[in-house]
Structure 1
Amino acid sequence: MKKLLIILISSYIICSCNTQIETNTFTTHSSLIFYKIADNYFVKNNYDIRGFTEKVISTENEFNQIFDMASFMGKNRKPTPIDFSREKVVVLLHPATNRSVELIPLKLEENEKMQAVYYYKLRTGEQSSFETKPKLIIIVSNDINKILFKKVD
């Protein structure tokens, strides 16, 4: 009897620990693509951004024309390394502004037409006393050929 009770309790514990992953019906015909956010870079002062820009950069030379490294004191405060022999960057650039601007990556996925689609959100906030050039840089594999941009409201 004790063995049966132990087996039943063990089975209950094992079954209750089972987690299920919910699937989003919006992405049933697509698959997510891995990316990482590049930190500690800034847009060079001499780089002129005329309007909101969505850009894919595949060479270090082109990247260095737009961005410079921003090193900070402390542990792990170096810029995210980018290996342009295996990676490229996807960039969102906002013109210089004195308002707070938040560029938010939502997801990068392959759609049913086998195209990479980058979903992002842009939030504009309060006015500030200084001007910035907001940007968002993500790093993706060179295997991705074409990227479509999709701003989500």
Structure 2
Amino acid sequence: MLLCAAFLLMGCTKSQKAVEYQVAKNYFFVNNSPRSMSLKMTTELEFGKYFGMAAFMGKDGQPTEIDFKKQFVIAKVLPETDTLTHITPLSLTEEGKTLRLKCKITRGKKQSYTMQPFVLLIVDRKYIDKEVTE
């Protein structure tokens, strides 16, 4: 009976598969873009409407390369805030026809300026037809 119950429970759970991604570094959110969104960007032209390169001198100063022939980008963007805010991706999983993004949002001290918190995930293009949800 215990074995039967285990099989029933396994049949009721959704199949989740971890999806590999890379966090893109050294980009900025374009100020005249919409303020709060989750985006799936599949071309360099589309990506350029929302994000620009923020290179700086020194080690790790170049923006992460994105090859839109092999990859696409998922962006999680929060509204402007004067509170120090970090978005940490926890997981990206494939669940049937969707990709489910889970993030942790950490808020810190109030600042004397505003910021636009965002995180960019670079994902293999084989998942491009999946709908992205949170």
- Please state which band the TM-score falls in when normalised by the shorter chain: 0.7 to 0.9
Paired residue secondary structure (1:95): coil
Matched, 1:42 2:28: yes
Q: Deviations over 1:77-103 (max 9, x none)?
A: 100000111110000111211111111
Give the TM-score normalised by structure 1: 0.72
Query: Amino acid of the residue matched to residue 73 of structure 1?
Result: M
Q: Which runs of 5+ in 2 are unaligned?
A: 1-12
Paired residue secondary structure (2:64): coil
Q: Deviations over 1:25-76 (max 9, x none)?
A: xx99322111000000001222241xx3111010111111111101111123
Residue of structure 1 in register with 2:70 after alignment: 86
**Of the candidates 73, 79, 84, which is equivalent to residue 57 of structure 2?**
73
Residue of structure 1 in register with 2:81 after alignment: 97
Residues 74/40 of structure 1: CA separation in 2 closer, same or farther (3 Å cut): same
* Superposition RMSD in Å: 2.0
Q: Which has the higher contact order (CA 8 A, sep 6+)?
A: 2
How far is 1:120 from its partner? 1.2
Give the TM-score normalised by structure 2: 0.82
Contact persistence 2:98–2:133 (CA under 8 A): no
Query: Amino acid of the residue matched to residue 109 of structure 1?
Result: T
Residue of structure 2 in register with 1:31 after alignment: 17
**Of the candidates 97, 103, 124, which is equivalent to residue 120 of structure 1?**
103
Give the whole-Å Cα distance in 2 for the aligned partners of 1:148 and 1:66. 18
Paired residue secondary structure (1:80): coil
Hey, which bits of structure 1, 4+ residues long, moved more than 6 A? none
Residue of structure 2 in register with 1:130 after alignment: 113
Query: Amino acid of the residue matched to residue 120 of structure 1?
Result: C
Structure number with bigger Rg: 1
Q: Deviations over 1:94-127 (max 9, x none)?
A: 121111111110011122x353211112222221
- Give the aligned length: 122
Residue of structure 2 in register with 1:63 after alignment: 47
Give the whole-Å Cα distance in 1 for the aligned partners of 2:42 and 2:14. 30
Contact persistence 1:118–1:147 (CA under 8 A): no
